Amino acid sequence: MAIPGTPSMEQIYDCPANTVLICVDGSSNALEAFQYFTSNFRQSDSNVIIFHASDQVKIPAFVPGGGVGFMPESLMAAYDEIELHNKRLKEKYEKLCSDIGLNHQVIIDEDIKKGPGVAIINAAKKNNAKLIVIGTRGLGTIRRTILGSVSHYVLHHSSVPVLICPGA
């Protein structure tokens, strides 16, 4: 039974700009969400944006053992690790999309200031997405309450339909 005012998948795909934002983070659940979309909802004119809200390098305010500051070497190592992760993630999804002939674009947002949920909502608006596809890590009720959930945030703040794919 459809919720009144909620577009059906057919209505989504009747839109002239058939843009779908698929959120990825390197997890197996994100890959499963991508595969679920491409296996079940992909259309020949699908325009897919693979979106990743990059981790940020955290600069500690206090150094263990007392004092204020940070060690430049550890800061650079953390930055290099994030940069390598983003590069590998982009290459992985570029290949997956190319292998199946999917019209796509990979966007890595390295300037997220308000968290990944906000970055996803902003990317969907900016790119006129008609659907957001996101995986979930399957956090339990207590962990989700304490830690929050990106998929939960996106679901409740999106102005377009959200397809949440639970992990195995």
Confidence bin at 168 (pLDDT 50/70/90): low
What is the bridge-based pairing of β-strands 162-166 and 131-136? parallel
137-166 confidence digits (pLDDT tens): 755 555 455 445 888 899 999 999 999 988
Q: What percent of the chain has pLDDT over 70?
A: 73
DSSP 3-state of 107: strand
Q: Is 42 exposed, middle or buried (0-12, 13-18, 19+ CB in 10 A)?
A: middle
166: CB partners within 8 A, 6+ apart: 29, 135, 136, 138
14-23 confidence digits (pLDDT tens): 443 589 999 9
Sketch out the chain's domains with CATH numbers.
13-56+72-166 (3.40.50.620)
31-81 confidence digits (pLDDT tens): 999 999 999 988 878 899 999 998 776 666 555 565 555 567 777 787 788
Write down the pLDDT at residue 80. 85
